[in-house]
Amino acid sequence: HDKVAHIITYGTMATKNSIKDVGRVEKVPLKIVNDLCKLIPDKLPDGMKMSVANAIKAIPELREAEASADEGLRNTMMYAKMLEGTVRGTGIHACGTIICRDAISDWVPVSTAEDKADPGHKLLCTQYDGHVIEETGLIKMDFLGLKTLSILKEAVENVRISTGETIDLEKIPIDDPKTYQLYCEGRTIGTFQFESAGMQKYLRELQPSVFEDLIAMNALYRPGPMDYIPDFIARKRDPSKVKYDIPCMEKYLKDTYGITVYQEQVMLLSRQLANFTRGQSDTLRKAMGKKLIAQMDKLETLFYEGGMKNGHPKEVLNKIWEDWKKFASYAFNKSHATCYSWVAFQTAYFKAHYPAEYMAAVMSRNLANIAEITKFMDECRAMGIKTLGPDVNESRLKFSVNKHGEIRFGLAAIKGMGDAAAQAVIQEREKNGPYTSVFDMVQRVNLSSVNKKAIESLALSGGFDSFGIARESYFGTDSKGSTFIDNLTRYGQLFQMEQQQMRNSLFGDSNAVEVATPPVPQAERWSSIERLNKERDLVGIYLSAHPLDDYKIVLQAMCNTGCNELEDKMALVQKAEVTLAGMVTNTRSAVTKMGKPCGFVTIEDYSGSGELAFFGEEWGRWNGMFEVGRTVFVKCRFTQKYPTSSFVDLQVANIEYLQTTYDKRVERFTIQVDSAHIDQTVVNDIVTMVSDSPGQTQLYFEVYDSESNHTLLLKSNIPPIRVGRTLVNYVESDPHMSYKVN
């Protein structure tokens, strides 16, 4: 243990971080600091080096902040310039490991760090970072552990369980057309290395057709070489654009369409053009990558001498050398890019051929990250794969695929369940078959593992829905005040006790156990939001529906802005009126430096979430509307305070609850349907859905007859209804139907 250590890393304060950190200390409102940071681009104009000082020179709003009358803002910019580049904190290198024949502390200073995988355990790490550690004479090895390998292992197991096939990852065909089609369409969410929005865009433009294209994109898609990607794409599309400074260079640059992408290409070309030895070519790679000027100058002289000796003109050699110098600091190791691309290809192959099994594996490995789970569930929806809630007869420990090709939520992912309880439910089901009812389940499972808390969690999350008992009933009470879950747990314990006694008796017959099942109480129905909020509390996300589904038609027909658009203030200023709706998920009150009250409200809809900022009287007037869990409809305007300023004012015209908006505005719901598609089944379905939903919306039918090319508008004789999610979903799911709202 004293001869092996991790390597420390030193995190320094970058441009944006230094502004954020100082702003926090100076108590500048987070919103203002974030707005300032958003003004800083990834690259400064005219090739300026990125720094706070240069950003202030290039961006007028930052100059305004530096000269601001607000002392906190002024100090933020001043101290950010001073602190930029200083060490902010330490960490551990992701894969670097130092090995020594003696105790490492005999050679270099060491420190300890917390082991994230095993809290409480201390890791030994060097105090010298990776840039200098090898100069001490110690061996540095890289051991890279990828979560993706665990995802692939789980995907292989999912496929084996659902189809019986055993996939050998090393024998996947590298020319598989279906996988390249996935890359060409940019459908790479959930795959390794290629899932960012920018990468998806470039893949659609490139239309990769061979594995070499993927290796090159993996190496190029990083700061610096990214500038070469448009040229790389243009050359693949039009081979006439591929040019070589010296014809013999085609041997090593053909696969990358004449562009130097990899360190290995520089090494091979230096040997080909200037007779470098293998050792010299490797020294060149190191010198270029680490910008060792003295070594570079020495090698440059050797390059010209060897190149001219081989008959190449000095001006051409000079151009090649200058290109290499410019690119070398970005040059990537091809062997590394190849390994990454091969793992990436394996993930894409699974997504193309076994989409449900692969996405289930991806979600299983992201159980702790609800934001990622939500993103992957949206991707499943786009792929036409249903993601269903937990079920005691279908769910496994983690996400899995049922016999219909749908993804089931894992039992271990339910809060309050625990691995032991989940394993007990699954093992009993696999040993003795599916559970026929909730009574059958409590008769059979180990109740010391599956306790009352676990049963409650299963009921609230929908794990018992397939048994036909409403979730509310499990919390209904009998005449003694005991809940159904209490009675159910006692019933299971009594049944198993009696069964054990019968087995132990001389003439015992375990089948003769008779214990009366407790009656299922009738309980008051929960509202949709209450039921879904309980579900979200247990699984982290809304699974069976969304609280806004009842108001879906309001969001679609009456809103011109999604909550995820609230960040782009300049775009909102361009709109004469902004209308948006959603559910309040967070509120916080504060006081400005001038002593005025203010508030920040987070609102969420189907598109995502965004924040509204209220100041002074506006906050005093409207804050009572913003209780967490409420659904609201907001009508407002955004105006620029000054023509050159990035600060925007919110002016509210009206805010009301979504229920009020729905009742006031949704006067008519018209189902548009092809006459050829109307039959008794459709009529019965619609009548069933609307007959028990009294409201204030009149139902109409717009029937189109394709034979006569006529449309007939009919008013329903059913009394006014409330258009619920069931009816909207029914219409949306039928290709022969659509709807409009007045």
Averaged over 649-657, what is the pLDDT?
91
- Give me the percent of the chain exceeding a pLDDT of 70: 98
Reply yes or no on whether the pLDDT at 519 is more than 60.
yes
* Banded model confidence at residue 41, pLDDT cuts 50, 70, 90: confident
Averaged over 617-633, what is the pLDDT?
90
Reply yes or no on whether the pLDDT at 329 is more than 60.
yes
Query: How is 139-194 classified by DSSP, letter by letter?
Result: EEEE----HHHHHHHHHHHHHHHHH-----GGGS-TT-HHHHHHHHTT--TTSSS-
* Banded model confidence at residue 503, pLDDT cuts 50, 70, 90: confident
Exposed/middle/buried for residue 155 (C-beta within 10 Å: 0-12, 13-18, 19+): buried
Alpha helices in 559-624, H assignment, sequence order:
569-573, 617-622
Angle of helix 293-309 relative to helix 263-274, nearest 10 degrees? 50
Choice between 326 and 29, residue whose per-residue pLDDT is larger: 29
* Banded model confidence at residue 571, pLDDT cuts 50, 70, 90: confident
pLDDT the model gives residue 429: 95
Q: Is 697 helix (H, G, I), strand (E, B) or coil?
A: strand
pLDDT the model gives residue 513: 66
pLDDT the model gives residue 580: 93
Averaged over 666-689, what is the pLDDT?
84
What distance in Å separates the CA atoms of residue 50 and residue 52, rounded to the nearest whole number?
A: 7
Per residue in 413-437, pLDDT tens? Answer: 888 888 899 999 999 999 999 999 9
Cβ pair 637, 653 in contact under 8 A:
yes
Which two structure tokens, joined as six digits, stand for 721? 């209804």
Question: Which residues, in sequence order, are bridge partners of residue 634?
Answer: 580, 655
* pTM of this prediction exceeds 0.75: no
Which of 528, 519, 569 shows the shortest CA–CA distance to 548? 528
pLDDT the model gives residue 119: 67
pLDDT the model gives residue 438: 95
Reply yes or no on whether the pLDDT at 549 is more than 90.
no
Range in 194-203, 507-516, 629-638 the model is least confident about: 507-516
Averaged over 513-520, what is the pLDDT?
84
What distance in Å separates the CA atoms of residue 450 and residue 8, rounded to the nearest whole number?
A: 44
Averaged over 624-644, what is the pLDDT?
87
What is the overall mean pLDDT for the chain?
Answer: 88
Which two structure tokens, joined as six digits, stand for 487? 């009675």
Question: What type of residue is 428?
Answer: E
Cβ pair 408, 394 in contact under 8 A:
yes
Which region, left, alpha or beta, applies to residue 416 given φ > 0 means left and ψ of -120 to 50 means alpha? left
Range in 42-46, 262-266, 441-445, 595-599 the model is least confident about: 42-46
pLDDT the model gives residue 593: 78
Per residue in 453-485, pLDDT tens? Answer: 999 999 999 999 999 999 999 999 988 889 999
Q: Show the beta-strand stretches assigned E in 69-129.
A: 87-99, 110-114, 122-129
pLDDT the model gives residue 514: 75
**Phi (first) and psi of residue 598, to 5 degrees:** -150, 165
Averaged over 233-242, what is the pLDDT?
93
Averaged over 576-595, what is the pLDDT?
88
